Chains A and B, each alone.
Chain A
Amino acid sequence: DAKTTQPTSMDCAEGRAANLPCNHSTISGNEYVYWYRQIHSQGPQYIIHGLKNNETNEMASLIITEDRKSSTLILPHATLRDTAVYYCIVRVEAAGNKLTFGGGTRVLVKP
């Protein structure tokens, strides 16, 4: 699976949009981009995933560049409860193909 690079940490103001970047320059054509987050003392939580097209759900939006070498997770109106470690993972969607978590981005939403 392709390696991802994320900033170690970032701060965000409550109520503002949080834009979390992820580089995956070695991604292959059949690899999806997944985002998970882990709030303190909890298990990771699925947020969103995509292949080529931008995606949006009730939690976030995912913007994938045309060359697919990078993506951005957007939390449109960050709240204090969005403080967490956010993981960007790229992998082939296949049976038994486990998720491999990197270091993620530690996001602190400030009042």
Chain B
Amino acid sequence: GAGVSQSPSNKVTEKGKDVELRCDPISGHTALYWYRQSLGQGLEFLIYFQGNSAPDKSGLPSDRFSAERTGGSVSTLTIQRTQQEDSAVYLCASSKEGQLYGYTFGSGTRLTVV
């Protein structure tokens, strides 16, 4: 597609439930990044994918967070047993490898844990 697509755009879930967030990167972009942004805060890196592998998972805040990417394209970020502090906007970005000015962000998924 023309841009990075994320779904759902908004998600309200109850504390303790699992959620899945989806990212469709730009076709041909091999690098994919997940970030999150809590209300009024800066962007926090979560994980980086090169193709289907994740050489950098250093930003995942706990083992409740996991992500996968299949076919070098779509990525899913899963949060298990959600907590209220997980409430944030989760942003996905993709780029051609080595082209940081080709870093294109999606509009994000706003997750609210109640």
Interface residues of A (CB under 8 A from B): 32, 34, 36, 41-46, 49, 91, 93-104
Contact assessment for A42 and B107 in the assembled complex, using a CB-CB cutoff below 8 Å: yes
Contact assessment for A104 and B42 in the assembled complex, using a CB-CB cutoff below 8 Å: yes
Contact assessment for A95 and B98 in the assembled complex, using a CB-CB cutoff below 8 Å: yes
B106 at the interface (CB under 8 A from A): yes
Residues of B close to A104: CB separation below 8 A: 42
Contact assessment for A93 and B100 in the assembled complex, using a CB-CB cutoff below 8 Å: yes
Q: How far is the CB of B50 from chain A (nearest CB, A)?
A: 6
Interface residues of B (CB under 8 A from A): 4, 31, 33, 35, 42-43, 45, 48, 50, 55-56, 91, 93, 97-98, 100-108
Please, which residue of chain B has its CB at the minimum distance from the CB of A100? B45
Please, which residue of chain A has its CB at the minimum distance from the CB of B102? A46
Residues of B close to A94: CB separation below 8 A: 98
Q: How far is the CB of B55 from chain A (nearest CB, A)?
A: 6
Which 3 A-B residue pairs are closest in the complex by CB-CB distance? A43-B105, A101-B43, A95-B97
Contact assessment for A43 and B106 in the assembled complex, using a CB-CB cutoff below 8 Å: yes
Please, which residue of chain A has its CB at the minimum distance from the CB of B59? A98
Docked pose: A99 CA to B4 CA in angstroms? 17
Please, which residue of chain A has its CB at the minimum distance from the CB of B93? A43
Please, which residue of chain A has its CB at the minimum distance from the CB of B31? A96
Please, which residue of chain A has its CB at the minimum distance from the CB of B41? A103
Contact assessment for A46 and B42 in the assembled complex, using a CB-CB cutoff below 8 Å: no
Docked pose: A43 CA to B91 CA in angstroms? 7
